[in-house]
């Protein structure tokens, strides 16, 4: 598998971003604890390195100047997920939303709740036009 471009999130970085999105802001120690609660045990130095990389990539910002340093997301979950999904759509499905939708529903049918949400989204979208 090809290594992600420097500005993309790796799987571990994305795990860490989820902790920040859930908490709002956190120290490296708090992120490590959050990962541990979800069953992911990483060394403090590993988490600190990943947080630094995320800050360097522009996904996090440091909000104080004394230790322990506190970081917060610079990009929302919505912004990042939209970007990742767009990249995935272009790389895997060559930009075809139709093919993506087919893959989403061909193995497992939509639940009643998912169908209702999809119908509501489509109705809102058609009203805006």
| Structural domains present in the chain | 11-73 (1.10.10.10)
Look up the pTM and report it: 0.83
Q: How many CA atoms lie within 13 A of 45 on its CB side?
A: 0
Please name which of 1, 80, 64, 58 lies closest in space to residue 27, comparing C-alpha atoms.
64
**What average pLDDT score do residues 93-97 get?**
95
Q: State the Cα angle at 69 between 63 and 73, rounded to 5°.
A: 45
**What average pLDDT score do residues 8-17 get?**
95
pLDDT score recorded for residue 126 = 85
pLDDT score recorded for residue 127 = 84
**What average pLDDT score do residues 78-96 get?**
95
Of the candidate ranges 43-47, 60-64, 104-108, the one whose mean pLDDT is the lowest: 104-108
């Amino acid at each position: 598998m090809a290594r992600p471009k420097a500005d993309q999130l790796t799987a571990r970085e994305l795990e860490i971003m989820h902790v920040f999105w859930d908490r709002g802001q956190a120290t490296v120690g708090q992120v490590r604890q959050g990962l541990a609660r979800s069953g992911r045990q990483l060394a403090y130095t590993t988490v600190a390195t990943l947080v630094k990389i995320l800050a360097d990539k522009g996904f996090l910002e440091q909000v104080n100047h004394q230790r322990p340093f506190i970081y917060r997301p610079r990009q929302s979950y919505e912004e990042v997920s939209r970007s990742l999904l767009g990249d995935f759509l272009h790389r895997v499905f060559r930009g075809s939303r139709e093919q993506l939708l087919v893959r989403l529903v061909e193995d497992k049918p939509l639940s009643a709740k998912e169908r209702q949400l999809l119908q509501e989204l489509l109705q809102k979208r058609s009203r805006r036009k």
